A = this chain, B = another copy of it.
Amino acid sequence: MLIRKATEKDFESIWAIFHAVVAKGDTYVFSPQATRDDAHDYWFGPGVRAYVADADGAILGMYKLIPNQRDLGAHVANASFMVSPAAHGRGIGEALGRHCIDEARKAGFDAMQFNFVVSTNTGAVALWKKLGFKIVGTLPKVFRHQTLGLVDAYVMHRFLNDSCGC
């Protein structure tokens, strides 16, 4: 499996995964009715670096890397990940996560922050902890989970310079 920069040619695959992920309403704030345009803005909007996991031409997942804030907060990265539901359990999320951390470090970011990890998405929370993230905030009842109702989300953070002593 190759992780490489996304191009417009990947958009049909990205849209299919995006739609499958948001349709469940259990991990992302997008409405299950989010449109192709919403997906395109999200993955190919201004300043977005998007990458795909490409297994012999089949796109199995993707991530995007952006600054979490502008200007005086632009030294902290933000990233989002989606894996095709059909490809879960194969380590694709972890491979994307490790690649993203490397890319963010190469791009000069000092840290990475996730602003909205749904607390009931236990697989994601466990993966990010494994990859060095800590929960630095708990946002009460901020996510309207489509089967569980209002649930918490976490803010997760890690520094990228492992020698910084933080």
Contact = CB atoms under 8 A, between A and B. Distances in A.
| Copies held by the complex | 2
A73 B141 CA distance: 9
A83 to B, nearest CB: 19
Interface string A98-129: 00000000000011010110000000000000
Contacts of A25: 72
A139 interface: yes
Contacts of A155: 137, 139, 155
Contacts of A55: none
A142 interface: yes
Interface in A128-166: 136-146, 150, 153, 155, 157, 159, 166
Contacts of A139: 76, 113, 136-137, 155, 157
Interface string A26-51: 00111100100000000000000000
A30 B98 CA distance: 30
Chain A's interface: helix, strand, loop or mixed, by majority?
strand
28 contacts: A25-B72, A28-B72, A29-B69, A29-B71, A30-B71, A30-B72, A31-B72, A34-B71, A68-B142, A69-B116, A69-B142, A72-B143, A73-B144, A73-B153, A75-B150, A76-B139, A76-B142, A111-B140, A113-B139, A115-B115, A136-B137, A136-B138, A136-B139, A137-B139, A137-B155, A140-B157, A140-B159, A141-B166
